[in-house]
């Protein structure tokens, strides 16, 4: 009998002629509601949320359209806010020939992580975190990455860089089974904003389970006399670099139902983390974002900055911008780059950033910069 | 101690010896004790631990009610997981929304909880709600056409009652009004009318069972919808048979009353479906459709009148019979529009199916009695024509309302 009644498209035609006995009055009365109760902005819940006393300021921007609850960072063992500035610079020593050797230690581990409040995901991790450690080295150094597999499946570390075939971290060249160890060794080049990820097969599963991370090679100012100042500002540890506010951001997503479509999108794993805890930015110091897209299943991801424009260095392998004055860039999987911008001339306040695929935004990849006056 | 009883079947005495009640009590307690010990052993020692292969628990979530109002969405969900389920996040149209669950916390197997979201739904458009559990499993619930769920106001109740009267009471009353014209009916006409009643009831029972099973398929798995429908219909049939046969086969006014009851329960289901369609946003009932329902149900009144053609009941009984058969349509629309859970609609329709089966049985029995056991008369022209007209009329008028 349900299908004795018109559904969907035909409904409008029949409504015209209709004896709308029961619902008639109700329907027409609600017609206005459907359109009129939507407050401006991103959320319909602003009316309700504004009524509550003491709601966080960022709520004004998204209302009730956000994940419910908080993620337990302590249980996860990593905090997305700390991750932004947590660079792994390894251990530095000098080789017999006088070159610098930088050694990183990375382990592969199975770990259940909370990717959104209350939602657990059986991840495969590097060093127990997703994304893995943000490795940072200097152009020309010899790198040695000691990789141990404590996980349940074979894994590799495949670096996007210049190296020998036997160091490529693919099946047959650096793939290790559980309990095994491999040392990847190569020179840090070219300078830029790169990434590494597991290249064991099947590739999509190993990537989307969480095995990826940033691999940043800072330029050596001595090798770039024409742009020495620029190179120096990119080199971690210099006074020129110290005035920059550098942020490590990995755009990723999780398919919790394993059906080839992502349920959660994020920047640095935790859906909506920077919407709930905005990233503090001092307005008189420039901002540099090392951004990589490792989203599985979707062809591209993007980054959009509100109320501001930035210069973009695709792959970070140049010292002059490859795109000037843009407010949205897109990246295919494994594409990455450096964003440079400043809020020096802006009012303090909350400035949003997110993927400009609305779907990704609304499924968790959205955050805020909390621009504040400098504390001196 | 009961060695002799268990080893030698011939030892079972024909006449109970002394202390037999004590012995039989032992034989009730012993199997129960074995069961208790077995369950205790299962829980205490967990011998099935080897089967725990690390797979996540089975989860199942069914939305039973969907309420759309000024505050957004409210959904009544029933959990059916192998372990208590936790709703971690909720998407509407692929966006995460804050929600409040009442009562909060894990939802045990078979338990329900209300979740509410301040979602600004759009009148006339479709929305999709996706529940994400703590294991990352997702459960989708479609809202095909969003309209405000009718609330209980006097205005709504009156307009729904008018619709119910057109669909249920009016056609039955019109059918009963043929009574004076049919009173002079000869034996052949009588047989035609009774056979027509069987035919239309045959159509109704198929229709009712179909709808009942459809509602049942939307209910949570824990209710075992199909078994519930079949068992309920059978129970309803048997109970009504037992009640109606206390003083022999019902005839005359009693039979007419049972026919009214069966048709009334069917019309309750029809009302539930119309009300549910309102709640689901499929409420574009055009004048044409309402006229279709009216025509479709007119034969029901003739069927009710058929057994009382040879008695002369007081006038008020006609009104009572029409109300009994048609009135439930009004009640059905009232209840159905409040978007009650599908298992209750399935249950009501299954009871109706049993009731219709009972009157099919009784009217057929009356036909058989009238034929005096002459099977040739049962296959006669008036009977066959009556059956065909009954089924055919219902089928053809149903074309007016099936979309």
Residue B147: its pLDDT value, please?
84
**What are residue B90's DSSP bridge partners?**
B97, B131
- If you search the block for the tokens 């069987």, which residue do you land on? B198
**Minimum-distance CB partner of A257 among B98, B137, B144:** B137
Give A-chain residues touching B207 at CB under 8 angstroms.
Answer: 1
What DSSP state is assigned to residue B85?
A: B
Q: Is B105 on the interface with A (CB under 8 A)?
A: no
**What are residue A137's DSSP bridge partners?**
A217
Give B-chain residues touching A45 at CB under 8 angstroms.
Answer: 97-98, 118
Residue A360: its pLDDT value, please?
95
Residue A308's φ and ψ, nearest 5 degrees, are -160, 165
Residue B180's φ and ψ, nearest 5 degrees, are -60, -40
Averaged pLDDT for residues A257-271: 94
Nearest to A131 by CA among A273, A303, A342, A328: A273
Q: Kindly indicate the confidence band of residue A354, based on its pLDDT and cuts at 50, 70 and 90.
A: very high
A54 pLDDT more than 80: no
Task: Check A25 against B155: CB less than 8 A apart.
Answer: yes
Contact A27, A9 (CB under 8 A): no
Looking at domain A73-372, its CATH superfamily turns out to be: Cupredoxins -  blue copper proteins (2.60.40.420)
Residue B284: its pLDDT value, please?
55
Interatomic CA distance for residues B253 and B90, integer angstroms: 56
**β pairing state of A349-354 and A366-372:** antiparallel
Q: Which pair of tokens denotes residue B33?
A: 């004790």
Mean pLDDT (chain B, rounded):
84
Interatomic CA distance for residues B141 and B277, integer angstroms: 16
Q: Which of A36-40, A65-69, B132-136, B293-297 has the lowest mean pLDDT?
A: A36-40
Helix axis angle, B252-279 relative to B225-244, nearest 10°?
Answer: 160
Q: Which of A309-313, A364-368, A371-375 has the lowest mean pLDDT?
A: A371-375
Interatomic CA distance for residues B53 and B42, integer angstroms: 18
Residue A49: its pLDDT value, please?
38
Is the pLDDT higher at B372 or at B12? B372
Residue A99: its pLDDT value, please?
93
Q: How many residues can be counted in chain A?
A: 376
The 10 Å Cβ neighbour count of residue B402 is 12
Residue A14: its pLDDT value, please?
36
**Minimum-distance CB partner of A4 among B95, B119, B403:** B403
Residue B287: its pLDDT value, please?
65
Residue ranges of the domains in chain A?
Answer: 73-372
Averaged pLDDT for residues B240-257: 83
Residue A17: its pLDDT value, please?
35
Q: Which pair of tokens denotes residue A295?
A: 């989203």
Q: Is B273 on the interface with A (CB under 8 A)?
A: yes
Give A-chain residues touching B160 at CB under 8 angstroms.
Answer: 21-22
The 10 Å Cβ neighbour count of residue B280 is 22
Q: Kindly indicate the confidence band of residue A56, based on its pLDDT and cuts at 50, 70 and 90.
A: low
pLDDT one-digit tens code per residue, B95-133: 999 999 999 999 999 899 999 999 999 988 899 999 999
Averaged pLDDT for residues A199-217: 96
pLDDT one-digit tens code per residue, B357-381: 988 888 888 888 877 767 777 778 8
Handedness of CA B212, B215, B221, B223 (dihedral sign): negative
B156 pLDDT more than 70: yes
ipTM tops 0.85: no
Contact B360, B367 (CB under 8 A): no
Residue B177: its pLDDT value, please?
87
Mean pLDDT (chain A, rounded):
86
């Amino acid at each position: 009998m349900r299908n004795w009644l018109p559904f969907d498209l035909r409904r409008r035609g029949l409504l015209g002629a209709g004896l709308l006995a029961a619902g008639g009055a109700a329907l027409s009365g609600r017609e206005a509601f459907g359109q009129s109760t939507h407050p401006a902005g991103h959320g319909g819940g602003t009316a309700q949320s504004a009524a509550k006393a003491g709601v966080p300021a960022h709520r004004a921007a998204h209302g009730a359209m956000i994940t419910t609850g908080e993620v337990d960072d302590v249980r996860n063992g990593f905090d997305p806010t700390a991750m932004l500035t947590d660079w792994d610079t390894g251990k530095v020593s000098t080789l017999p020939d006088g070159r610098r050797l930088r050694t990183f230690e990375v382990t592969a581990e199975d770990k259940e992580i909370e990717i959104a409040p209350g939602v657990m995901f059986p991840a495969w991790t590097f060093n127990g975190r997703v994304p893995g450690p943000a490795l940072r080295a200097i152009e020309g150094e010899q790198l040695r990455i000691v990789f141990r597999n404590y996980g349940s499946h074979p894994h590799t570390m495949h670096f996007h860089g210049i190296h020998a075939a036997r160091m490529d971290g693919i099946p047959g060249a650096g793939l290790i089974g559980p309990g095994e160890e491999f040392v990847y060794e190569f020179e840090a080049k070219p300078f830029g904003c790169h990434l590494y990820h597991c290249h064991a097969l099947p590739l999509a599963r190993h990537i989307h389970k969480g095995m990826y991370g940033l691999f940043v090679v800072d330029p050596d100012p001595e090798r770039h006399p024409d742009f020495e100042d620029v190179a120096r500002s990119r080199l971690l540890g210099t006074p020129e670099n110290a005035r920059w506010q550098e942020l490590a951001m990995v755009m990723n997503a999780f398919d919790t139902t394993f059906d080839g479509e992502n349920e959660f999108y994020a920047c640095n794993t935790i859906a909506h983390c920077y919407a709930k805890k905005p990233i503090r930015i001092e307005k008189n110091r420039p901002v540099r974002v090392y951004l990589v897209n490792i989203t599985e299943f979707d062809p591209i991801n993007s980054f959009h900055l509100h109320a501001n424009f930035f210069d973009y260095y695709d792959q970070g392998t140049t010292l002059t911008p490859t795109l000037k004055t843009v407010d949205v860039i897109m990246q295919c999987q494994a594409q990455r780059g450096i964003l440079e911008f400043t809020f020096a001339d802006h009012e303090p306040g909350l400035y949003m950033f997110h993927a400009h695929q609305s779907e990704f935004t609304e499924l968790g990849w959205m955050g805020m910069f909390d621009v504040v006056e400098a504390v001196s | 101690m009961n060695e002799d009883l268990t080893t030698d079947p011939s030892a079972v005495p024909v006449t109970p010896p002394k202390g037999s009640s004590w012995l039989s009590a032992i034989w009730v307690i012993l199997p129960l004790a074995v069961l208790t010990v077995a369950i205790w052993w299962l829980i205490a020692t967990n011998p099935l631990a080897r089967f725990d292969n690390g797979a996540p628990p089975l989860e199942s979530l069914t939305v039973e009610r969907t309420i759309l109002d000024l505050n957004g969405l409210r959904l009544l969900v029933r959990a059916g997981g192998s372990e208590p389920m936790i709703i971690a996040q909720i998407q509407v149209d692929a966006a995460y929304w804050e929600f409040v669950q009442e009562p909060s916390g894990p939802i045990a197997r078979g338990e329900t909880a209300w979740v509410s979201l301040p979602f600004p739904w759009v009148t006339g458009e479709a929305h999709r709600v996706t529940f994400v559990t703590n294991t990352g499993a997702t459960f989708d619930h479609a809202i095909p056409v969003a309209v405000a769920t009718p609330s209980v106001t006097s205005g709504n109740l009156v307009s729904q009652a008018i619709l119910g009267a057109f669909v249920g009471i009016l056609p039955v009353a019109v059918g009963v009004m043929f009574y004076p014209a049919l009173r002079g009916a000869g034996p052949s006409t009588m047989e035609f009318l009774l056979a027509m009643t069987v035919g239309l009831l045959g159509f109704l029972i198929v229709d009712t069972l179909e709808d009942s099973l459809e509602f049942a398929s939307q209910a949570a798995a824990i209710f075992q919808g199909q078994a519930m429908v079949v068992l309920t219909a059978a129970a309803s049939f048997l109970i009504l048979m037992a009640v109606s046969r206390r003083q022999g086969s019902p005839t005359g006014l009693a039979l007419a009353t049972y026919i009214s009851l069966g048709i009334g329960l069917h019309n309750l289901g029809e009302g539930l479906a119309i009300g549910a369609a309102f709640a689901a946003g499929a409420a574009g009932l055009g004048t044409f459709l309402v006229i279709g329902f009216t025509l479709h149900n007119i034969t029901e009144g003739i069927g009710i009148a058929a057994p009382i053609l040879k008695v002369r009941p007081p006038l008020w009984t006609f009104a009572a019979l029409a109300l009994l058969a048609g009135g439930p349509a009004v009640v059905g629309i009232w209840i159905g529009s409040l978007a009650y859970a599908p298992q209750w609609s399935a249950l009501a329709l299954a009871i109706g199916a049993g009731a219709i089966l009972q009157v099919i049985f009784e009217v057929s029995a009356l036909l058989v009695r009238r034929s005096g056991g002459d099977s040739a008369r049962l296959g006669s022209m008036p009977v066959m024509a009556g059956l065909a007209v009954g089924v055919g009329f219902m089928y053809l008028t149903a074309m007016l309302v099936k979309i």
